[in-house]
Amino acid sequence: MGPCARHLLSLVAARALADVVPEPDGWTTVRVPVESVEHAVADLLRLGPEAEVVEPPELRERVVQALRGMAAVYPEALDPVQRPAT
């Protein structure tokens, strides 16, 4: 999690982060209990590029699917090299 995302955290996530020391680059690895994968996807997407899901794999995949869907709606947001073929 990037340093800019801290103010967007839920109370549960903020508590999980409270005792963790950030890495020198400002990022922090934190374990956050979630209500459900669907709920977690919505919470994580609002953090934008300030959060990366490392595990569980099913949550990471659901975030990837959501981002692919968003890229299909907003293809101009992608770098031309990364833009999917239409």
Could you report the per-residue pLDDT of 21-69, keeping only the tens digit for each?
Answer: 888 988 888 888 888 999 899 989 988 888 899 999 999 999 999 999 9
- Decide if 59 contacts 37 (C-beta within 8 A): yes
Look at residue 46 and tell me if it is in a domain. Answer: yes
What's the rounded Cα separation, in Å, for the pair 41 and 53? 10
Number of domains in the chain: 1
Look at residue 39 and tell me if it is in a domain. Answer: yes
Look at residue 86 and tell me if it is in a domain. Answer: no
Per the listing, tokens 């955290």 go with: 9
Buried b (16+ CB within 10 A) or exposed e, 35-47: eeeeebbebbeeb
Look at residue 52 and tell me if it is in a domain. Answer: yes
Query: Count of CB atoms within 10 A of residue 6's CB?
Result: 15
Look at residue 30 and tell me if it is in a domain. Answer: yes
Look at residue 32 and tell me if it is in a domain. Answer: yes
Provide the pLDDT for residue 68. 95
Look at residue 43 and tell me if it is in a domain. Answer: yes
CA distances (Å), origin 20, targets 23, 27, 30, 69, 70: 9, 10, 7, 33, 32
* Residue 25, domain extent: 3-77
Look at residue 83 and tell me if it is in a domain. Answer: no
Provide the pLDDT for residue 3. 58
